[in-house]
Amino acid sequence: MKREQVLRVGILLWLMVVWILLWGNISFGNIFGGLAVGLIIMVLLPLPRVPVEGRVHLLSILRLLWMIVYYAIQSSIQVAWLAIRPSPPPVTGVLRYQLGIKSDLVLTLCIDVLNLIPGTMVLEIDQNRRIVYVHVLDVGSQKAVSAFYRSVEDLERLFIASFERDSDWQPSPWHQRDYEFDAPRQEDQP
CA distance 140 to 149: 14
Sign of CA dihedral 148, 149, 152, 157: negative
Query: What confidence tier does 50 reach under pLDDT thresholds 50, 70, 90?
Result: low
Looking at residue 181, its pLDDT comes to: 44
Question: Is 181 inside any structural domain?
Answer: no
Where are the strands (E) in the chain, listed by range? 93-98, 120-126, 131-136
Query: What confidence tier does 12 reach under pLDDT thresholds 50, 70, 90?
Result: very high
Question: Is 175 inside any structural domain?
Answer: no
Question: Phi and psi for 85 in degrees, rounded to 5?
Answer: -70, 145
User: Same domain, yes or no, for 76 and 148?
Assistant: yes
Mean pLDDT of the chain: 85
Residue 140 forms beta bridges with which residues?
A: none
Question: Is 85 inside any structural domain?
Answer: yes
User: Same domain, yes or no, for 97 and 23?
Assistant: no
User: Same domain, yes or no, for 72 and 11?
Assistant: no
Looking at residue 111, its pLDDT comes to: 94
User: Same domain, yes or no, for 70 and 10?
Assistant: no
Average pLDDT of the residues in 99-120: 89
pLDDT at 65 over 50: yes
Domain that holds residue 30: 3-44
Count of domains for the chain:
2
Give the full edge-to-edge strand order of the sheet including 131-136.
93-98, 131-136, 120-126
